[in-house]
Structure 1
Amino acid sequence: MDLGAEPPHIEPATEQERALAEENARLRRICGALIERVESAGMGGGAPYGAFEHAVLLAEQVRERTDSLHRTLEALEEARAEAEAANHSKTRFLAAVSHDLLQPLNAARLFASALEDQALPEDAGRQVGHIGRSLKDVEALLGTLVDISRLDAGVLTPDVAVFPVAELLDVLAEEYRQLAGARGLDLHYVPSGMVVSSDLALLARVVRNFLTNALRYTEHGRLLLGCRRRHDGLEILVGDTGPGIDAAQQQAIFLEFRRAVASPEDGDRGLGLGLAIVDRIATMLEHPLNLVSRPGQGALFSIRVPYGRPRDLPVAEAPPGPIDIAGMRVWVLDDDPAILEGMTALLDGWGCRVRCVATPAALEATSRRERADLLLVDYHLAPGDPDGICVAERLCRRHPELGVVVITANHDGELKQRARERGFDYLLKPVKPLRLRLLIANRREANGA
């Protein structure tokens, strides 16, 4: 239809119709002029409507692709939500692993330690020693797997504090000097009086892994443990005279299940996760790692730790002497009967007077009749019961002189801080009997007994 053409002439009947007809004619003339102008200003070839249709087509394609992008983004969001749900499930599983799997291991370690303290025939004593070492191997492997999963899940939080580096390195030097001597190696240790700021337990895990690797792969020569002062922190060093690591492998060994050399001939049980854990812990703590090594010339691993201010150190307590803990009154609260039986066997062997209970209600009843020097309480109790710290707080209001040791498989820094703020000691499962005995001795000294 030609919008600019004049309509058939019809004589208007009224004045109003005449005015409308004139206005209609005027609008048609304007419309015709506009169409002529558009056509004259069109693209080469005189196809303005073709350009318009092309633009409409492009707009439709943009709309379709935008819709496709929105659908892709929605699918990615659903995948992300599923991944987060899987991660939360993994976190819950790890919590169960930490507690439920370490519970029987903790009980086995307690029983084995109780047997080691008894006078046994030579053959039986040797077998108990083998059991203890095998349990330590299981503890190390399980602890490694749980730690790597916790680090990946982001549920392991650091508990940073200021401490003398000698508090960490003196103990490790003595421990690994004996292990190195058993393999015919020397450990050269250079002490340091510097103060650092870090998570003591996590930093110990890093240096232990360095020392374990050095010990594992060094057949002749010596190991080195020491420190070097840098302008931005204290560099803790572990060196060895082992086979060394080729430059092409020095990045790969920090990946899971990777080793620089073949497994040692003596039957190594590691999983190749030690340095992967080191890398994750160092990243979380923001402590730079370094490795210097050449094939045939050994390796030197290091981690750089921020300096701490000496004035921020906690007030030091005098180390306990050879105190006899016989007669110490100890309450034990745990919902696992095997743990209670193992604790009874261990503490009875040390001469302590032990009262073991499985529920907070039973402990409340006991506390009304008796007094104790120390409470050993599991953090995770039976479902429906308060946690161990809450139980201990309630008992301490009735017995202000009561010492408390919270025992748990939970490595969370916030939980450690919560226990420390209340003046409670903190032990991780599986419980190391020597560390437990030291805490009991400290309590006896604090009581002036």
Structure 2
Amino acid sequence: MALFQLAADSDETTADHAALREENRRLRKICQALMERVESGGSPDSAPYAAFERSVLLAEQVRERTDALHRTLDELNQVNTRLRAANAEAEAANLSKTKFLAAVSHDLLQPLNAARLFASALETHTLPEASQALVGHIGRSLKDVEGLIGTLVDISRLDAGVLHADKAPFAVSTLLDALAEEYRQVAAVRGLTLHYVPSSALVESDLALLARVIRNFLSNAVRYTEHGHLLLGCRRRSNGLEIMVGDTGPGIPEPQRRAIFLEFRRASQPQGNQSRGLGLGLAIVDRISTMLAHPVTLTSQLGRGSLFSILVPYAAPTTAPRITNSRPVPFNEWEHGPLQGCVVWVIDDDPATIEGMQALLGSWGCRVRAAATASALEAASDGEPPAVLLVDYHLGEERESGVELAARLRHRYPRLAAVVITANHEAALKRTIREADMHCLLKPLKPLRLKMLLATLLKSR
């Protein structure tokens, strides 16, 4: 029985071997057929195995480059992380710079503002000739300090990006008439004459920033012109109003015409001109004109003079200015003009500024009431209504702003003209003051500018 079983197993094994051999033979035939098909489908100049090897090589290169890409992405992520950290530090530094500028604008300019007021008031007094000369030197020195600090603060604000434009429509005469009256006197001190051609055009711009540009043009014209005259006027162009300031100075050589718009670059000054400056005035002009999108041009001829101009867009015909100022009162009308005997209220939380304003306004013939609060003024006024209110914008952390206080007093005195005085150059504040139908003057206060504004406001009552 066992022998029979072994024979049966041997037969099965033999049959399995035969089946395997048959299967192997069949698979070989299939493989051979596939190889023939691959070889017949390939190009005559390339072997199929070479193509396969190239495919494997390409796959390996793709894998290596993918790994390299992942490594690069990881490195970029690390760089982005560092950049985000650096950007956060830069923003913190910029915020600190902004706070510093705010402190400079208010805390540093506040005592300078008071000093200018005292010096200007003293100039109106009858003094010995030697003392009058000393007062003049003090006034000029304070003006130089004011100009230097103001220039540094302006360029820092522009670089920090904290100064923004507040564009609005206005009659260009409201700006140029006042500047013409102001610089006619400034030019006369240097023995120069100013020719002014007024314009009735309506333009759209930031009045304060545009004034900064024109003032710079006029100041440079006075500084660099030894004899002759200056020109302030406008020319209507198809794409805007060109405001021009010309002089009969020495002219600017061609190689210097681009360089003078860079920081700390100044043209050669005439001998004996000791006017101080940092060479930042035209750099500020360049930044402001870029911010406002008002192109500035310069033409000059050696020995014949220079002409600076800025192109300002027209206001829409249907748009009217919110505040329409009267024509400035000429200097020769001031002696017996509207300032004599007018009641002016001054509200400021700085005692030195109050004393300075009292001295200055009193020297102009005004009847001045000054205090830190409106209630104190009303108590001392004996019911006499004020004609003009001069109010500081910052009246303390927990007090209402100058704009709010002026609005409250206007409800009580409807004909009250309000002037807000501030060291804050923010566009939003200027817009708020303008929309409240008030006027804005920036610190350090320019006595001549204040006097012109007061005379104009009082004459229009």
What range is the shorter-chain TM-score in? 0.7 to 0.9
Would you say the 8 A contact 1:110–1:342 is kept in 2?
yes
Q: 1:389–1:117: structure 2 CA closer, same or farther, 3 Å change rule?
A: same
Question: Offset at 1:409?
Answer: 1.0
Say whether 1:76 aligns with 2:90: no
Would you say the 8 A contact 2:199–2:234 is kept in 1?
yes
Would you say the 8 A contact 2:328–2:453 is kept in 1?
no
Count of equivalent residues: 418
Question: Offset at 1:229?
Answer: 2.4
- Partner AA of 2:393 in structure 1: Y
Question: Offset at 1:54?
Answer: 3.6
Greater Cα shift, 314-323 or 272-281: 314-323
Listed as ranges, the matches of 1:27-106 within 5 Å are 43-44=50-51, 46=53, 51-106=58-113
Residue equivalent to 1:335:
349
Residue equivalent to 1:19:
none
Picking from 250, 256, 265, the partner of 1:243 is 250
Q: 1:370–1:153: structure 2 CA closer, same or farther, 3 Å change rule?
A: farther
What is the rounded CA distance, in whole Å, between the counterparts of 1:90 and 1:244 in structure 2?
Answer: 38
- Partner AA of 2:113 in structure 1: N
Q: 1:232–1:114: structure 2 CA closer, same or farther, 3 Å change rule?
A: same
- Partner AA of 1:418 in structure 2: T
Superposed CA offset, 1:353-385 (max 9, x none): 54433357x649849985641432211122232
Superposed CA offset, 1:209-246 (max 9, x none): 22222332333544333332221112222233433333
Say whether 1:430 aligns with 2:437: no
- Partner AA of 1:303 in structure 2: I
SS in 1 for 2:263: coil
Residue equivalent to 2:214:
207
Say whether 1:387 aligns with 2:405: no
Question: Offset at 1:438?
Answer: 4.7
Listed as ranges, the matches of 1:101-116 within 5 Å are 101-116=108-123
Residue equivalent to 2:308:
301
Residue equivalent to 2:391:
377
Say whether 1:256 aligns with 2:296: no
Listed as ranges, the matches of 1:56-205 within 5 Å are 56-205=63-212
- Partner AA of 1:408 in structure 2: T
Would you say the 8 A contact 1:116–1:128 is kept in 2?
yes
SS in 1 for 2:215: helix
Would you say the 8 A contact 1:43–1:51 is kept in 2?
no
SS in 1 for 2:389: strand
- Partner AA of 2:216 in structure 1: N
Superposed CA offset, 1:189-221 (max 9, x none): 444443333233322221222222233233354
Q: 1:262–1:440: structure 2 CA closer, same or farther, 3 Å change rule?
A: closer
Superposed CA offset, 1:382-422 (max 9, x none): 22323222233334445545443211111223212212322
What is the rounded CA distance, in whole Å, between the counterparts of 1:164 and 1:399 in structure 2?
Answer: 28
What is the rounded CA distance, in whole Å, between the counterparts of 2:325 and 2:395 in structure 1?
Answer: 33
What is the rounded CA distance, in whole Å, between the counterparts of 1:60 and 1:107 in structure 2?
Answer: 70
SS in 2 for 1:277: helix
Superposed CA offset, 1:243-277 (max 9, x none): 33333332221111112436754223111111111
- Partner AA of 2:144 in structure 1: D
Question: Offset at 1:444?
Answer: 5.2
Question: Offset at 1:99?
Answer: 0.8
Question: Offset at 1:103?
Answer: 0.3
What is the rounded CA distance, in whole Å, between the counterparts of 2:191 and 2:453 in structure 1?
Answer: 33
What is the rounded CA distance, in whole Å, between the counterparts of 2:50 and 2:303 in structure 1?
Answer: 77
- TM-score calculated relative to the size of structure 1: 0.80
SS in 2 for 1:204: helix
Question: Offset at 1:75?
Answer: 1.8
Residue equivalent to 1:5:
none
Would you say the 8 A contact 1:330–1:372 is kept in 2?
no
Structure 2 residues without counterparts, runs of 5 or longer? 1-8, 10-22, 39-46
What is the rounded CA distance, in whole Å, between the counterparts of 2:451 and 2:226 in structure 1?
Answer: 35
What is the rounded CA distance, in whole Å, between the counterparts of 2:255 and 2:116 in structure 1?
Answer: 42
Would you say the 8 A contact 2:178–2:452 is kept in 1?
no
Return the index of the structure with the highest Cα Rg. 2
Question: Offset at 1:143?
Answer: 1.4
Listed as ranges, the matches of 1:218-367 within 5 Å are 218-261=225-268, 264-308=271-315, 312-313=320-321, 314-315=323-324, 317=326, 322-325=336-339, 327-358=341-372, 363=376, 366=379
- TM-score calculated relative to the size of structure 2: 0.78
- Partner AA of 1:341 in structure 2: E
Would you say the 8 A contact 2:174–2:327 is kept in 1?
no
Listed as ranges, the matches of 1:403-418 within 5 Å are 403-418=417-432
Greater Cα shift, 212-221 or 421-430: 212-221
Superposed CA offset, 1:414-438 (max 9, x none): 2122123223232221223344345
RMSD across aligned positions (CA): 3.7
Q: 1:215–1:111: structure 2 CA closer, same or farther, 3 Å change rule?
A: closer
Would you say the 8 A contact 1:42–1:48 is kept in 2?
no
What is the rounded CA distance, in whole Å, between the counterparts of 1:363 and 1:97 in structure 2?
Answer: 29
Question: Offset at 1:176?
Answer: 3.6
